[in-house]
Amino acid sequence: MEAILIGSMVAGTVMSAVSAIQQGQYAAAMGEQQAQIAAQQAEAQRLAGEIEAREKRKEGREAVEKGRAMIAAGGVVPGTGTPGLLAQETAAEYERDARLIQSGYGQQAELSLARGRYSKAYGESQRRASLWSAGTSIATGAAGLAGMYYRPKPEPFFKTQLRYALKR
């Protein structure tokens, strides 16, 4: 009977420790996977920003060229005086818009990367916590086993009475 009790205590302790370690490993793996996904998302966001900014710049060039053509059709020399300033200002506005687009997507990309770093750090902290949990399970199991075998011997009645009498 005692062997069955000891076996079940050992088995329970081992199962608890192994389970804790596995949970930590799973959390660390999930954190790593989420960090990789976040890096992919960040790259996709940067690429989308570059494409959209490129399209905005193209739109700006077309608008400037269209404006120059309209000015030239009216008999004015494009690129000089007010028409030249208007073309420069229009080009600058489109460039500013393109940079804002890239900046916005860049911020989204950085946010994705930050989330990925957090996920990875959280997974790693869960892995470390699981090792502590496993250690606690082992220590608790060992203490339980030790408690089965270590029983302090009770003091004889007369020693207890003597100690009580001396304290008075």
Residue 70 token pair? 């309209």
Task: Indicate the Cα dihedral angle 19, 21, 25, 27, nearest 10°.
Answer: 70
* Predicted confidence (pLDDT) per residue in 68-86, tens digit: 888 777 777 766 677 778 8
Domain ranges in the chain? 2-151
Residue 5 token pair? 């009790």
Q: How confident is the model at residue 148 (pLDDT cuts 50, 70, 90)?
A: confident
Q: What integer pLDDT is reported at residue 7 of this predicted model?
A: 84
Q: What integer pLDDT is reported at residue 78 of this predicted model?
A: 66
Average pLDDT, the chain: 87
Q: What integer pLDDT is reported at residue 71 of this predicted model?
A: 78
Buried-state track 24-52, b at ≥16 Cβ within 10 A, e below 16: beebbeebeebbeebeebbeebbeebeeb
Contacts of 137 (CB under 8 A, 6+ apart): 13, 16, 17, 20
* Predicted confidence (pLDDT) per residue in 22-60, tens digit: 999 999 999 999 999 999 999 999 999 999 999 999 999
> Is 117 or 157 the better-scoring residue by pLDDT?
117
Q: What integer pLDDT is reported at residue 146 of this predicted model?
A: 82
* Predicted confidence (pLDDT) per residue in 118-131, tens digit: 999 999 999 999 99
Asked whether the predicted pLDDT for residue 156 surpasses 70, the reply is: no
Residue 86 token pair? 């208007």
3-state DSSP call for residue 126?
Answer: helix
First to last CA, the chain: 47
Buried-state track 94-123, b at ≥16 Cβ within 10 A, e below 16: beebbeebbeebbebbeebbebbeebbeeb
Instruction: For residue 78, report the phi and psi dihedrals to the nearest 5 degrees.
Output: -70, 155
Q: What integer pLDDT is reported at residue 155 of this predicted model?
A: 66
Q: What integer pLDDT is reported at residue 107 of this predicted model?
A: 95
* Predicted confidence (pLDDT) per residue in 87-146, tens digit: 889 899 999 999 999 999 999 999 999 999 999 999 999 999 999 999 999 999 888 888
- What is the secondary structure of 54-121 as a DSSP string? HHHHHHHHHHHHHHHHHHHHTT--TTSHHHHHHHHHHHHHHHHHHHHHHHHHHHHHHHHHHHHHHHHH
Q: Are 92 and 33 in contact (CB under 8 A)?
A: no
Asked whether the predicted pLDDT for residue 167 surpasses 80, the reply is: no
DSSP assigned state of 154: P
